[in-house]
């Protein structure tokens, strides 16, 4: 047994220090970044924000919406082969911004082979790949990643999750991975730290793994733990090339999954009609509309996810995810604007002309308190 005494940081342990800047407006900031990769022959020009490949946030609708911001979507792995073929055949324009997710099972690899063969036969381009397993520390994972790299030399491969530099290097060097996904236990609906005691504070994980990846020409994606736009800025400041979001996009209109709806009257005012709209949804005098109210959001290793996709929790496993009911948050578009607006503003505070410059200009200050919470509970 050994103890590491150095302080390891999370997003809420720091603030970013402002510094002299010659940017006069947020509109001067470029949120698009150009990437080239250690293995993929493809290049990528994008806003480096990714929707997580959870079965709520990694939806086709999300991909269409995020592509308007040139942001990325990692689709969840539960779409059927035919659904994927159909989507990619009809959305070739956004293909470079969409990653197909797979695990390491033979079934997943066979599915991707089938989808990609069909697309190639129809003279269509193939999308990039996200190889996702909860614990990226296995030899088998590295080998499987390398098998996929050999099959598709041109595509961008993102794989994870890990939290340490040596495994980041291993995945890039021996797994043929371009972007390593960093984060264990930090997710909003993740209970790994509660069940296993395993984890690593997210900001320190990305600082340490980012250094390792960049030394090899690779990149990292900070996955999990962003709760507010400031956390995304801190992730970029701390060396992340990409930031993946689950909980922050969950509950926005482009999510798939089990929504709870309410019927409300279109013609009457909101407050006085709250009762009527419940008991008279089909009365022609009161035309009604269906509105999203809550979304069931759960971890991909939760009991709910395993029951839905794998027919239950295997007897040698435990659930490592939470299931929550979250209120509808409005449009994905609004949330994305808020996030990109936050990044632009942060850039102007530190004199960074682009997201690429952000980490070079970042000086973190360790703090005990990140912001004033007095009126938080009155927030509308």
Catalytic residue among 100, 190, 254, 265: 190
- Beta carbons within 8 Å of 218's beta carbon, 6+ residues apart: 37, 38, 168, 172, 177, 178, 179, 180
Active site residue 265: no
Residues that bind ligand 5GP (CB under 6 A): 52, 54, 134, 161, 183, 187-190, 192, 223-226, 244-248, 299-302, 320-321
Residue showing the smallest CB distance to ligand 5GP in the complex: 299
- The nearer residue to ligand 5GP, 226 or 340, going by C-beta atoms, is 226
Least distance to ligand 5GP, CB of residue 41, Å: 27
For the chain, the maximum distance between any two Cα atoms, rounded to a whole number of angstroms, is 73
Cis previous bond, 161, omega within 30: yes
Least distance to ligand 5GP, CB of residue 199, Å: 9
Which residues, in sequence order, are bridge partners of residue 17?
Answer: none
- The nearer residue to ligand 5GP, 151 or 194, going by C-beta atoms, is 194
In the structure encoding, which two tokens stand for residue 245, read together?
A: 């979001």
Residue 150 CB-density burial (10 A; 0-12 exposed, 13-18 middle, 19+ buried): exposed
Least distance to ligand 5GP, CB of residue 264, Å: 29
- The nearer residue to ligand 5GP, 128 or 288, going by C-beta atoms, is 128
d(CA 24, CA 21): 8
- The nearer residue to ligand 5GP, 317 or 360, going by C-beta atoms, is 317
Indicate the SS3 state at residue 346.
helix
Least distance to ligand 5GP, CB of residue 34, Å: 24
- The nearer residue to ligand 5GP, 175 or 183, going by C-beta atoms, is 183
- The nearer residue to ligand 5GP, 29 or 190, going by C-beta atoms, is 190
Least distance to ligand 5GP, CB of residue 301, Å: 3
State the DSSP H helix or E strand holding residue 292, giving kind and residue range, or none if neither.
strand 288-298
Nearest to 161 by CA among 144, 180, 178: 180
Indicate the SS3 state at residue 264.
strand
Residue 267 CB-density burial (10 A; 0-12 exposed, 13-18 middle, 19+ buried): exposed
Least distance to ligand 5GP, CB of residue 204, Å: 16
d(CA 196, CA 219): 28
- The nearer residue to ligand 5GP, 240 or 352, going by C-beta atoms, is 240
Residue with tokens 């794989």: 159
d(CA 319, CA 305): 9
Least distance to ligand 5GP, CB of residue 103, Å: 13
Pair 163, 200: CB distance under 8 Å: yes
Work out whether strand 288-298 and strand 323-327 pair parallel, antiparallel, or are unpaired.
Answer: antiparallel
**Distance linking the first and last C-alpha atoms of the chain:** 49
Active site residues: 190
């Amino acid at each position: 047994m050994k103890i590491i005494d150095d302080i390891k940081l999370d997003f809420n342990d720091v603030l970013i220090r402002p510094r002299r800047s010659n940017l006069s407006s947020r509109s001067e900031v470029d949120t698009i970044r150009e990437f080239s990769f250690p293995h993929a022959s493809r290049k990528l020009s994008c806003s480096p924000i990714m929707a997580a490949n959870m079965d709520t946030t990694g939806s086709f609708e999300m991909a269409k919406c995020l592509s308007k911001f040139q942001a990325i979507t990692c689709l969840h792995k539960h779409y059927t082969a035919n659904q994927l073929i159909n989507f990619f055949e009809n959305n070739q324009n956004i293909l470079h911004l969409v990653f197909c997710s797979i695990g390491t099972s033979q079934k997943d690899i066979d599915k991707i082979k089938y989808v990609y063969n069909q697309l190639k036969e129809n003279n269509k381009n193939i999308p990039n790949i996200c190889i996702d397993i909860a614990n990226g520390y296995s030899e088998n994972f590295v080998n499987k990643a390398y098998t996929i790299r050999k099959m598709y030399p041109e595509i961008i491969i993102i794989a994870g999750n890990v939290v340490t530099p040596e495994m980041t290097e291993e995945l890039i060097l021996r797994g043929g991975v371009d972007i390593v996904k960093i984060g264990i236990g930090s997710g909003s609906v993740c209970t790994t730290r509660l069940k296993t005691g395993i984890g690593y504070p997210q900001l320190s994980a990305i600082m340490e793994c980012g250094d390792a990846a960049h030394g090899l020409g690779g990149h990292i994606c900070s996955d999990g733990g962003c709760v507010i736009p400031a956390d995304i800025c801190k992730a970029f400041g701390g060396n992340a090339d990409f930031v993946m979001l689950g909980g922050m996009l969950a509950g926005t209109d482009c999510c798939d999954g089990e929504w709870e709806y309410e019927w409300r009257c279109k013609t009457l005012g909101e407050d006085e009609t709250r009762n009527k709209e419940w008991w008279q949804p089909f009365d022609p005098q009161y035309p009604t509309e269906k509105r999203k109210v809550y979304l069931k959001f759960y971890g991909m290793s939760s009991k709910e996810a395993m029951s839905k996709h794998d027919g239950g929790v295997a007897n040698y496993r435990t659930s490592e995810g939470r299931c929550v009911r979250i209120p509808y948050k409005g449009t994905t578009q609004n949330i994305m604007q808020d996030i990109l607006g936050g990044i632009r503003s942060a850039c102007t505070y530190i004199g960074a002309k682009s997201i690429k410059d952000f980490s070079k200009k970042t000086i973190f200050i360790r703090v005990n308190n990140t912001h004033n919470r007095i009126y938080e509970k009155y927030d509308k």
